[in-house]
Amino acid sequence: MAEQTDTESRKLLRRLRDTLAEDTAGQARLDHIVELIATSMQTEVCSIYLFRDAETLELCATEGLKAEAVHQTRMKLGEGLVGRAARDGTVVNEADAPSARGFRYMPETGEEVYSSFCGVPITRLGDKLGVLVVQSREARAFSDDEVYALEVVAMVLAEMTELGAFVGEGEALKARHTNPMMFRGGIGQEGVAEGHVWLHEPRVVVTNPIADDPEAETERLREAVDALRVSVDDMLKSVSDDPVDKDQREVLEAYRMFASSRSWLKRMEEDIAAGLSAEAAVEKEQSAARTRLGQSSDPYLRERLQDLDDLSNRLLRILTGQGRDTGAGMPENPILVARNIGPAELLDYGRGELKGIVLEQGSVGSHAAIVARAWAIPLIVHAGDRITAEALNGDHIMVDGDQGIVHLRPDDTVVSAFRDKIAMQAQAQKRYAGIRDLPAESKDGIRVSMLMNAGLIAELPSLNDSGAEGVGLFRTELQFLARNTVPRRSELAGIYSRVLDAAGGKKVVFRTLDIGSDKVLPYMKRDDEPNPALGWRAIRVGLDKVGVMRMQLQALIRAANGRPLSVMFPFVAQFDEFRAARQHLLDEVERERKLGHVLPEKVEIGAMLETPSLAFAPRQFFEMADFISIGGNDLKQFFFAADRENERVRRRYDTLNVSFLSFIEQIARRCDETGTPVSFCGEDAGRPIEAMCFAAMGLRHLSMRPASVGPVKHLIRRVDLGEARDVIDRARGSGVQSVRGDVMEWLRGLS
Judgement on whether residues 353 and 486 belong to the same structural domain of the protein? no
Strand, coil or helix: 440: strand
Q: Is 435 within a domain? A: no
What is the reported pLDDT for 243?
A: 46
C-alpha R_g of the chain? 30
Q: Is 156 within a domain? A: yes
Give the closest residue to 608 by CA, choosing from 581, 566, 568. 568
Q: Is 685 within a domain? A: yes
Give the closest residue to 210 by CA, choosing from 21, 5, 16. 16
Rounded mean pLDDT of 27-54? Answer: 88
What is the reported pLDDT for 157?
A: 85
Bridge partners of 678, per DSSP, are 628
Judgement on whether residues 348 and 497 belong to the same structural domain of the protein? no
Regarding pTM above 0.75, the answer is no
Rounded mean pLDDT of 280-305? Answer: 73
Encode pLDDT of 336-367 as tens digits.
Answer: 998 887 666 777 777 668 899 999 877 666 66
What is the reported pLDDT for 617?
A: 96
Q: Is 430 within a domain? A: no
Judgement on whether residues 707 and 578 belong to the same structural domain of the protein? yes
Cα(682)–Cα(475) distance, rounded to whole angstroms? 12
Q: What is the DSSP letter of 371?
A: H
Judgement on whether residues 314 and 330 belong to the same structural domain of the protein? no
Strand, coil or helix: 316: helix
What does each C-alpha distance from 642 to 159, 652, 693 come to in angstroms?
Answer: 43, 9, 22
The residue that leads in pLDDT, 257 or 409, is: 409
Contacts of 637 (CB under 8 A, 6+ apart): 533, 643, 644, 650
Rounded mean pLDDT of 592-614? Answer: 95
CB count, 10 Å around CB of 671?
23
What does each C-alpha distance from 705 to 18, 186, 190, 368, 423 come to in angstroms?
Answer: 59, 18, 10, 16, 21
Cα(673)–Cα(383) distance, rounded to whole angstroms? 46
The residue type found at 680 is F
Contacts of 452 (CB under 8 A, 6+ apart): 459, 462, 463, 466, 468, 470, 471, 472, 703, 704, 705, 706, 709
Contacts of 234 (CB under 8 A, 6+ apart): none
DSSP class per residue in 549-562: HHHHHHHHHHHHTT
- For CA atoms 684, 685, 691, 695, give the dihedral sign: positive
Q: How many domains does the chain fold into?
A: 4
Cα(241)–Cα(234) distance, rounded to whole angstroms? 14
Encode pLDDT of 454-473 as tens digits.
Answer: 887 777 878 888 889 999 99
Judgement on whether residues 343 and 314 belong to the same structural domain of the protein? no
Encode pLDDT of 534-584 as tens digits.
Answer: 766 778 888 888 888 899 999 999 999 999 999 999 999 999 999 999 999
Contacts of 100 (CB under 8 A, 6+ apart): 81, 92, 94, 117
pLDDT at 491 over 60: yes
Cα(192)–Cα(196) distance, rounded to whole angstroms? 13
CB count, 10 Å around CB of 469?
18
What is the reported pLDDT for 3?
A: 44
Helix 246-259 crosses helix 214-238 at what angle (to 10 degrees)?
160
Q: What is the CATH number of the domain that holds 227?
A: 1.10.274.10
What is the reported pLDDT for 473?
A: 93
Q: Is 667 within a domain? A: yes
Cβ atoms of 44 and 136 closer than 8 Å: yes
What is the reported pLDDT for 136?
A: 93
Residue 21 burial by Cβ neighbours in a 10 Å radius (0-12, 13-18, 19+): exposed
What is the reported pLDDT for 5?
A: 45
Lowest mean pLDDT among 151-165, 229-243, 416-430, 621-635: 229-243
Q: What is the DSSP letter of 657?
A: B
Q: Which one of 362, 392, 425 terminates a domain?
A: 425
Q: Is 526 within a domain? A: yes
Judgement on whether residues 502 and 595 belong to the same structural domain of the protein? yes
| Domain range for 333 | 181-202+326-425
Confidence of residue 533 (pLDDT cuts 50, 70, 90): low
Judgement on whether residues 535 and 519 belong to the same structural domain of the protein? yes
Cβ atoms of 565 and 557 closer than 8 Å: yes
Q: Is 436 within a domain? A: no
Measured between its terminal Cα atoms, the distance across the chain in Å is 85
Cβ atoms of 335 and 397 closer than 8 Å: yes
Q: What is the DSSP letter of 94?
A: E
Give the closest residue to 570 by CA, choosing from 520, 518, 488, 635. 635
What is the reported pLDDT for 85?
A: 92
CB count, 10 Å around CB of 616?
12
pLDDT at 318 over 70: yes
What is the reported pLDDT for 47?
A: 93
Q: What is the CATH number of the domain that holds 395?
A: 3.50.30.10
The residue that leads in pLDDT, 425 or 512, is: 512
Confidence of residue 18 (pLDDT cuts 50, 70, 90): confident
Judgement on whether residues 513 and 388 belong to the same structural domain of the protein? no
What is the reported pLDDT for 462?
A: 80
Judgement on whether residues 164 and 32 belong to the same structural domain of the protein? yes
Q: What is the CATH number of the domain that holds 125?
A: 3.30.450.40
Bridge partners of 410, per DSSP, are none
- Sheet containing strand 74-76, strands side by side: 74-76, 56-63, 45-53, 127-136, 116-124, 92-94
Share of the chain above pLDDT 90, in %: 39
What is the reported pLDDT for 445?
A: 95
Residue 298, CA atoms < 13 Å, CB-side half-sphere = 5
Cβ atoms of 34 and 62 closer than 8 Å: yes
Q: Is 189 within a domain? A: yes
Confidence of residue 13 (pLDDT cuts 50, 70, 90): confident
Burial 556-586 (b: 16+ CB within 10 A, else e): bbbbbbebebbbbbbbbbebebbeebbebbe
What does each C-alpha distance from 595 to 498, 599, 602 come to in angstroms?
Answer: 23, 10, 18
